[in-house]
Structure 1
Amino acid sequence: MDKDLKKLIEISQSGGAVLKKYFGKKLDVINEKYNASDLQTTVDLESEKVIIDQLKKYFPDYNILSEEVGKIDNGSKFTFVIDPLDGTNNFVLGIANFTSVIGLLEGDKGIMAAVNSPMTNETFYAASGRGAFLNGKKIKVNTESDMTRSTISHEVDYHHDQTRTLNIRHELGANIKVKRLLTDWSPQFMICLLAAGRLEGIIREEGEIHDYVAGKIIAREAGAKITDYQGKPDQSDKTDKFIMSNGTQVHDRLIEVVNKK
């Protein structure tokens, strides 16, 4: 394994260890950033500090873009994109779906990522051209093509059009009758589950860069198909509006869903 990837895995696990230490305990919510569901806690900040301190130590020349502190610009073509607690709402509510996330961009292209899920003891990771892995074992998307046997995740940001959101979810759940429709608050974890063959498709309706960059790297290396809403290949890992799937007919059906009038 590449020493940089190995170090990235270790750092994501260090962030995850902070999350695990505090899970289930009473927390101080120190900020509502956009609305009541967009939270910042003391745990976000502690996990972030652990991650950033180690990145600065081992990769001192790289830029860092983190959800809580913003950008540390060192003028590098390489940028780490961090979410120290992907799934803060889940964490606060006592739902054990959350992750510690680090992705590495070279310009607009993701080249390395590690996502640690501390409560399931799972670390997903990938490097460009080398495949995707979960706890040392190679992973790939599944081959399910039947929408009624497919689990689909619909992910939106805090500014989403509620009418459009409801229409898409109605189409998937009531009309198409997918096996399960997920609307979880840990988007990076959902992408990793698709990469591991546990989900079939994801509709991403915009969002912040830390919500998807690392997951895109891992999913692409696991064989996922990623396109815009017209089915054109995803051109940049900074693009926040996309469809991701296992590459079967599920993908075409999701394109139909997002474009239905």
Structure 2
Amino acid sequence: MDTNLQPNSTIGGKSYTAVAINCAAKAGEWIKSKIGNFTQLDTKYSMHDLVTEVDKGSERMIRNLVGTHFPHHAFLGEEGVEPGPEAAAKAIRDMGDEEYLWIVDPVDGTTNFVHGFPFYSISIALAHRGQVIVGVVYDPSRDELFVAERGKGAYVHGRAMRVSPEPALSHSLIATGFPADHHVALPANLREIRALAPKVRNLRSGGSAALHLAYVAAGRLSGFWEHNLSAWDIAAGALLVEEAGGRMSDMSGEPYHLGVRNVAATNGSIHDELISELRAANG
């Protein structure tokens, strides 16, 4: 993995970013060794919300590595929270104001991993008093490391990232994700897809929100929206987007914070147009 990061990856004299990169690299190597070799597959919130021992093992590895370097920091990982949107929202309310909080999705895109579809990632963010200051998203399948530090830019393969230049939805490649809640969120998502599909260049749905956000930051996608995400899905990718010159918000256009669950991310130029279409689609 190319972990060359410019500028210097230290904040306040402590190598938070270096630890995050190391955690992502080690977890990614272990995850790849488990492809096609996991033994336990369970459902969580619904039949569409999967977990394996690989998710749990990856989170345990990251938690232990972080704890070795920063034993007094708080840790919020997906697999340490009860399933369902209410538990996820409560977890971030309870922990969001910690001085230092690591927010981790050990495998974002578990369904893809289970099926051998190579679009999943590890998402690691560090928040300081509710503001994300480090974000790392690692794609083990492509050995791509996306890194951002607040105020210092966003990088992939050690090179600075910038969002795409598309000026309007009609020129844009947009991604979304299908929510596990099939009663409220999925019908809303399908209305939005139906409204947007004729107005954009094309739509994609890869199955990893963290990677979609990294792709917005890298200029590979013009925008992304999804319902019912949790902080561990979004926090690292949100910083990538912002540091690459893009815009993050909720679906009403209000600024992103750790409690946001319905998210929109774009290159900035198309943001207002995307938000307007999402609002119109749901009346």
- The alignment's TM-score, normalised by the length of structure 2, stands at 0.84
| Among candidates 241, 245, 249, match of residue 266 of structure 2 | 245
Residue of structure 2 equivalent to 1:37: 48
Unaligned runs of 5+ in 1: none
State whether structure 2 residue 153 is matched by structure 1 residue 141: no
1:13 aligns with 2:25: yes
- Aligned counterparts, 1:89-100, within 5 A: 89-100=111-122
| The structure with more strand, counted as a fraction of residues | 1
Q: Which residue of 1 aligns with 2:79?
A: 68
Q: CA shift at 1:164, angstroms? A: 1.7
- Partner Cα distance (2:107, 2:133) in 1: 21
Distance 1:49 1:161 in 2: 31
The 1:150/1:29 distance shift into structure 2, 3 A limit, reads farther
1:259 maps onto 2:279 in alignment: yes
Specify whether residues 139 and 43 from structure 1 end up closer, same or farther in structure 2 by C-alpha distance, changes over 3 A only.
same
CA contact (8 A) 1:82 1:101 kept: yes
Which stretch of structure 1 is more off in the superposition, 236-245 or 135-144?
Answer: 236-245
Question: Cα–Cα, structure 1 residues 162 and 231, in superposed 2: closer, same or farther, change >3 Å?
Answer: closer
Map 1:184-203 onto structure 2 (within 5 A): 184-203=206-225
**Superposed CA offset, 1:137-185 (max 9, x none):** 1111011124233111123532243322211111121x31x22212222
Asked whether the 8 Å contact 2:32–2:140 carries over to 1, the reply is yes
Total equivalences in the alignment: 255
Secondary structure of 1:61's counterpart equals coil
Residue 53 (structure 1) aligned to one of 38, 44, 64? 64
Identity %: 27
Could you tell me whether the CA contact under 8 Å between 1:108 and 1:238 is conserved in 2? no
Compared CA separation, residues 157 and 166, structure 1 to 2 (3 A): closer
Alpha-carbon displacement from aligned partner over 1:234-253 (angstroms, at most 9, x marks no partner): 3x2332223211011x2122
Please list every run of 5 or more consecutive structure 2 residues that lacks an aligned counterpart in the other structure.
1-7, 82-90
Name the structure 1 match of 2:84. none
Query: Does the 8 Å CA contact 1:213/1:238 hold for their aligned counterparts?
Result: no
Aligned to 1:77: 99
Deviation at 1:19, TM superposition (A): 1.4
CA offsets 1:88-131 (integer angstroms, 9 cap, x no match): 00001110001111101112211111111111111001111110
The residue identity in structure 1 corresponding to 2:158 is G
TM-score by length of 1: 0.91
Tell me the distance in 1 between the aligned counterparts of 2:246 and 2:53: 35
